[in-house]
Amino acid sequence: MPSSEKSLTYPSTPKRNQVDNYHGTLVADPYRWLEDPDSQETRTWIEAQNQITFGYLSEIPAREKIKQRLTKLWDYEKYGIPFKEGEFLRDGSTERYFYFKNDGLQNQSVLYTLKTLDDQPKVLLDPNKLSEDGTVALSGLSISEDGKLLAYGLSSSGSDWQEWKVRDVETGEDLQDHLKWIKFSGASWTHDHQGFFYSRYDEPNEKTRLEDVNYYQKLCYHQLGKPQSEDVLIYHRPDQKEWGFSGGVTEDGRYLIISIWLGTDSKNLVFFKDITNPNAEVVELINQFEADYSFIDNDDSVFYFRTDLNAPRGRVIAIDTKNPAPENWQEIIPQSAETLESVGILNNQFVADYLKDAHSQIKIFDLKGGFIREVELPGLGSAGGFGGKHYDTETFYSFTSFTIAGTIYRYDMVTGKSEVFRQPQVDFNPDEYETKQVFYHSQDGTRVPMFITHKKGIKLDGNNPTYLYAYGGFNASMTPGFSVSLLVWMEMGGIYAMPNIRGGGEYGEEWHQAGMKDKKQNVFDDFIGAAEWLIANKYTKTEKLAIAGGSNGGLLVGACITQRPDLFGAALPAVGVMDMLRFHKFTIGWAWTSEYGSADNLEEFPALYAYSPLHNITPDTAYPATLITTADHDDRVVPAHSFKFAAALQEAHAGDAPTLIRIETKAGHGAGKPTAKIIEEAADKWAFLVRALDVKF
């Protein structure tokens, strides 16, 4: 360990006498004052921590070399999946294609439009021109059915708060429409192209809008040319402050499908409204939070859904709204051994996206559920896309893996043929790398898959620097994907390992529930089991092993280093949920109680307190080298989690390894982060690990 690390002097973090009583258990919270990110005291603390952290990182000789390589590799054209809107209509308008493209190092990708795939693309929206530093990002878009109007959402500095505007596709000019106080919402146009549905909250307190809780979402209709104050309230529930609403117009333009969500629970309600009838009421089709129902499409009064009702890995059902009693529902595609992630209808056929041991499998069925074919994919990886309209015979999808950058394919629904539409050129040779999938057993005997990727020819002598990354929550599936940042790590001789631990959705709702609430310890056990397997099988050793994760994955890392500080050489918890007793008191944190439970609940408190990273830091313990990362504008997982965890860790730490916090400014939870900031953070992360794990390259 370099001697300079022993001389690190951390900023003084005053402790206050704050003690809370949780059902008879007294819990100290001495750093509560750090929950106010805008107080002068907190701002001074942030500056002092950043001065130590950036000073430490800047002195690592390898950092500049790593940054240069990241920048060089990042500089390649990246394409999004094309989609199209518009048809041969009476007014003479035709369909248009739209897609995103990034020239390489642009902070934000640019939206282009063109009338045929052979046309010269025209810039429709360039977010890079909306701010000098790239911190204004496009956060959502919706094209009107005739392809003439674009509704788009903007987010500043990574905030979840969005403002929506409307642009004329042909002229590129914005209309006067300007909507605010929108969060967790898209936009869905009516087929008369006169307006769209969206969801909003009441105007918050400007000073505390990044911390205050978000309740009472409203579903509204905005008519073009009118001020937001005159928007029509379509649906809200003053008696249900936690309900959120997502409104989508069906492809035939007849119905508004209202999906009601409750926090992050995957169970939802489905209501609908006939928008061709001005007097139509909202009909409660599914009014119990019993399962997940994802609307696919409709055929007149028959609605198709992907659901996990009585099928934890997913199936497709049909509900005739004229005869909607559950005993009349029809099963179209039954549950299979694989997990059904999503379904669309193209060419009058179902296109079903499955996960088989955490990698993609695409199957096509007729509307009666008869199997037609499986789409042939280029290998073990992740496929996404297959969007379009009910009778489209053409669609596009992307395919990516740990060693294949996102390649866009055009797929012919009639012939079943794929052809490359855009293939990025990245400055590396994929043949020099290999990926394998292994299976190991967790503490309770559960079989868990893990992907391992590295340069070919490495020696299994226990000396390889290894980066172990996972998420483990909210039904989110971790699948193979390309990352320039990870490629640089592997170029330096590093191994990348990604286990598909419980809490995710890789094996359906049962796998998810096995890592929820009082079963959350399974998630940590699975991750610890992955680390022990890598060490036992000579891939690495404790001194060469780093663990990482973001958001719920940051919680994972925090819990694992407090439970097993002896097992890891370094830790990189990013924007983590570290205070499991107070997370529900900020912004959308209350929504996570369906996943974690709540400290306000007598039965749920003990499990939360038992693993809460902040509350399980032990004095005079040698913790792994730790670089905590967060952002001052994160209004998803407020930075107080990371602030308090860093202060407590620095006070308790008895070893020589650094325990640092890197606090990004003008950034949020991660979405929309400009390329320049991503590269800087990646360079800092790898430089930190090069030093902490003594990586030679």
Separation CA 34–CA 211 (nearest Å): 12
Separation CA 658–CA 242 (nearest Å): 41
Closest CA to 676 of 58, 74, 47: 74
Q: Which residues contact 601 (CB under 8 A, 6 or more apart)?
A: none
- Axis crossing angle, helix 640-652 with helix 552-563, rounded to the nearest 10: 10
Above pLDDT 90, what percent of the chain?
Answer: 88
Where does residue 539 fall: left (phi above 0), alpha (psi -120 to 50 degrees), or beta otherwise? alpha
Which H or E run includes 360? strand 359-366
Using DSSP's 3-state secondary structure scheme, residue 452 falls into: strand
Separation CA 453–CA 403 (nearest Å): 9
DSSP tag of 285: E
State the pLDDT at residue 3: 35
Closest CA to 290 of 275, 272, 305, 274: 305
What does the buried/exposed string (b/e) look like for 646-683 if buried means 16 or more CB atoms within 10 Å of the residue's CB?
bbbbbebbebebbbbbbbbebbbbbebbbbbbbbbbbb
**pLDDT by residue (tens digit) across 125-162?**
999 999 888 788 899 999 999 999 999 999 988 788 99
**pLDDT by residue (tens digit) across 358-409?**
999 999 999 999 999 999 999 889 999 999 999 999 999 999 999 999 999 9
Rounding to the nearest 10 degrees, give the CA dihedral for residues 409, 411, 416, 419.
Answer: -40
Looking at residue 374, its amino acid is: E
Where does residue 426 fall: left (phi above 0), alpha (psi -120 to 50 degrees), or beta otherwise? beta
**pLDDT by residue (tens digit) across 45-89?**
999 999 999 999 999 999 999 999 999 999 999 999 999 998 654
DSSP tag of 376: P
Residue 680 has pLDDT above 50, yes or no: yes
Q: Side by side, which strands form the sheet with 255-262?
A: 243-249, 255-262, 268-274, 283-286
What is the average per-residue pLDDT within 470-479? 97
Above pLDDT 70, what percent of the chain?
Answer: 97
Separation CA 667–CA 680 (nearest Å): 13
Q: What is the mean pLDDT of the chain?
A: 94
CB 34 within 8 A of CB 641: no
Residue 538 has pLDDT above 80, yes or no: yes
Separation CA 366–CA 373 (nearest Å): 10
Separation CA 603–CA 605 (nearest Å): 6
What is the average per-residue pLDDT within 296-325? 98
Closest CA to 495 of 530, 444, 445: 530
Tell me the two tokens of residue 301: 């009064």
What is the average per-residue pLDDT within 650-675? 86
pLDDT-derived band of residue 527, with 50, 70 and 90 as boundaries?
very high
DSSP tag of 431: G
Where does residue 508 fall: left (phi above 0), alpha (psi -120 to 50 degrees), or beta otherwise? left
Using DSSP's 3-state secondary structure scheme, residue 377 falls into: coil
594 is catalytic: no
**Residue 168 CB neighbours (<10 A):** 13
CB 384 within 8 A of CB 81: yes
Separation CA 274–CA 681 (nearest Å): 49
State the pLDDT at residue 670: 59
Catalytic residue among 185, 246, 551, 594: 551
CB 344 within 8 A of CB 331: no
Separation CA 260–CA 325 (nearest Å): 19
CB 127 within 8 A of CB 108: yes
CB 624 within 8 A of CB 45: no
Separation CA 670–CA 149 (nearest Å): 28
Q: Is the pTM value of this prediction over 0.95?
A: no
Separation CA 676–CA 670 (nearest Å): 13
**What's the longest Cα–Cα distance across the chain?**
77
**pLDDT by residue (tens digit) across 178-237?**
999 999 999 999 999 999 999 999 988 877 776 777 899 999 999 999 999 999 999 999
Burial label, 274 (beta-carbon count in 10 A; 0-12, 13-18, 19+): middle
Using DSSP's 3-state secondary structure scheme, residue 246 falls into: strand
State the pLDDT at residue 1: 39
236 is catalytic: no
State the pLDDT at residue 275: 97
**pLDDT by residue (tens digit) across 234-273?**
999 999 999 999 999 999 999 999 999 998 888 999 999 9
DSSP tag of 311: -
State the pLDDT at residue 159: 82
Q: Using alpha carbons only, what angle is made at residue 681 by residues 38 and 399, rounded to the nearest 5 degrees?
A: 120
CB 341 within 8 A of CB 328: no
Tell me the two tokens of residue 268: 């939802």
Catalytic residue among 359, 633, 653, 669: 669
Q: What is the 3-state secondary structure (H, E, C) of 88-145?
A: CCCCCCCCEEEEEEECCCCCCCEEEEECCCCCCCEEEECHHHCCCCCCEEEEEEEECC
Least confident range of 106-120, 125-139, 320-334, 658-672:
658-672
Determine phi and psi for 184, rounding to 5 degrees. 55, 50
